[in-house]
Amino acid sequence: MGNKMVIADKNVELKIRAVGLKPTRQRIGLARLLFIGCARHVTADELFAEASESGVPVSLATVYNTLRQFVDVGLLREVLAGPERSYFDTDVSHHHHFFHVDENRLEDLPPGSISIDDLPNAPAGSKIERVDVVVRLTRK
Amino acid sequence: MGNKMVIADKNVELKIRAVGLKPTRQRIGLARLLFIGCARHVTADELFAEASESGVPVSLATVYNTLRQFVDVGLLREVLAGPERSYFDTDVSHHHHFFHVDENRLEDLPPGSISIDDLPNAPAGSKIERVDVVVRLTRK
DNA sequence: ATTTTAATTTAGAATGCTTCTAATCCATTG
DNA sequence: CAATGGATTAGAAGCATTCTAAATTAAAAT
Ligand SMILES: [Mn+2]
Ligand SMILES: [Mn+2]
Ligand SMILES: [Zn+2]
Ligand SMILES: [Zn+2]
């Protein structure tokens, strides 16, 4: 029964090595929470709470360090949904989001939603890094 | 020469009264900086600095209070461009933004840019409050 | 005009998220 | 099994923003 999990752990470890980071106990624990299973959107605090509950020995500082590092190497994407905290998305492919403002929760737009036409040229001296679309939702 | 300014002041005062707020020295001073002249995007800190330089007697707390109140009554719009600070837009009409990430500066998209097709339905129980598009720019 | 009233402003403290510091720990290499 | 350099950590610091409670002020009432 622990077999599949051990394999998943090995994959996670390889994933961390592949981007040039040491597979420490903390990084493996966090990466398991992030990358095994469906794609997800987390805040630093949520991930820290999950890690604590599931017995991954890690400090909040390391959660922040690890999230930044994972973003830097392209394992995670930071989603800008509001000024109060950062969200991290395990799906790094190009896609857009609903943001439930009453619950502080991100949700992917259904595929095929939103096609942007007439994208403007970048002002002189600048180049477009990316285009973020956030559909803000409130309770009906 | 002070004539036009006095008239503009009166308009600003009327604008403040019109939304049910008392036209105090601080609100009038801030509203003059915000609403006389072209549309603009400011942070609390920028507006506070401008007020101080131009002799408007106001505390940082009041700048924050006033920006929130102006948003609440529809004189300003808050633009969510990133997790580090809030931006306030004197143009409350529906439009989208460039965000110069190296300068922390907002700029309006040229009119006619971006038309969103296939906007998704809101998930059950939610309704769409608004759609924000931010085109993030870096130095070329 | 003076007094009364409630709204507004304010300095400074508090908050919440995030980053930094510098001491300790540990994965890796030889 | 050392040695070593990166990683982790507790706690402090940073920064934008909000809160508190006392002082001020605009507007209403006299
Ligand atoms: Mn903030
Ligand atoms: Mn923040
Ligand atoms: Zn997503
Ligand atoms: Zn704008």
pLDDT single digits (tens) B86-139: 999 999 999 999 999 999 999 999 988 888 877 899 999 999 999 999 999 999
The confidence band for A89, taking pLDDT boundaries of 50, 70 and 90, is very high
The model's pTM: 0.92
pLDDT (0 to 100) of residue B83? 93
Which CATH architecture describes the domain B12-137?
Orthogonal Bundle (1.10)
The confidence band for A7, taking pLDDT boundaries of 50, 70 and 90, is confident
- Break chain A into its structural domains and give their ranges: 12-137
Q: Count how many Cα atoms sit within 13 Å of the Cα of residue B36 in the half-sphere of its side chain.
A: 16
Structure tokens that stand for A100 in this block: 């439930």
pLDDT (0 to 100) of residue B114? 84
Residue B2 has pLDDT above 60, yes or no: no
Q: Under a CB-based contact definition with an 8 Å cutoff, are residues B41 and B85 in contact?
A: no
* B43-68: average pLDDT: 98
**Exposed / middle / buried, residue A112 (Cβ in 10 Å: 0-12, 13-18, 19+):** exposed
Nucleotides of D under 7 A from a protein CB: 6-11, 16-20, 25-27
Is A138 strand, coil or helix? strand
Q: Under a CB-based contact definition with an 8 Å cutoff, are residues B97 and B79 in contact?
A: yes
Residue A1 has pLDDT above 80, yes or no: no
Sheet holding B97-100, edge to edge: A105-108, A97-100, A126-139, B126-139, B97-100, B105-108
Structure tokens that stand for A84 in this block: 């109060």
Residue A68 has pLDDT above 70, yes or no: yes
H or E segment to which residue B11 belongs: helix B2-18
pLDDT (0 to 100) of residue B68? 98
Q: Which ligand has the shortest distance to the CA of A110?
A: 3
The confidence band for A3, taking pLDDT boundaries of 50, 70 and 90, is low
* B45-62: average pLDDT: 98
Residue A27 is given by DSSP the state H
Orientation angle between helical segments B25-35 and B44-53, nearest 10 degrees: 110
Sort out which chain B residues have CB atoms less than 8 A from A83's CB and list them: 80, 82-86
DSSP string over B49-81? HHHHHTT----HHHHHHHHHHHHHTTS-EEE--
The confidence band for A5, taking pLDDT boundaries of 50, 70 and 90, is low
Distance, CA of A24 to C1' of C26, in Å: 9
Is B48 strand, coil or helix? helix
Structure tokens that stand for B12 in this block: 């600003």
Q: How many other CB atoms are there within 10 angstroms of residue A38's CB atom?
A: 6
Q: Which ligand has the shortest distance to the CA of B78?
A: 4
Comparing CA positions, the residue from A63, A65, A39 lying closest to residue A51 is: A63
Distance, CA of B68 to CA of B36 (rounded, Å):
19
pLDDT (0 to 100) of residue A93? 95
Distance, CA of A118 to CA of A83 (rounded, Å):
28
* B72-89: average pLDDT: 96
DSSP E strand boundaries for chain A: 41-42, 77-79, 87-89, 97-100, 105-108, 115-117, 126-139
Contact check, Cβ <8 Å, B125/A140: yes
pLDDT (0 to 100) of residue A112? 81
Distance, CA of A12 to C1' of D3, in Å: 29
Asked if the C-beta of A135 comes within 8 angstroms of chain B's C-beta atoms, the answer is yes
The confidence band for A118, taking pLDDT boundaries of 50, 70 and 90, is confident
Residue B80 has pLDDT above 90, yes or no: yes
Distance, CA of B79 to CA of B85 (rounded, Å):
10
Distance, CA of B36 to CA of B33 (rounded, Å):
6
Q: Under a CB-based contact definition with an 8 Å cutoff, are residues A60 and A48 in contact?
A: yes
Residue A134 identity: V
pLDDT (0 to 100) of residue B118? 79
* B79-90: average pLDDT: 96
pLDDT single digits (tens) A11-39: 899 999 999 999 999 999 999 999 999 99
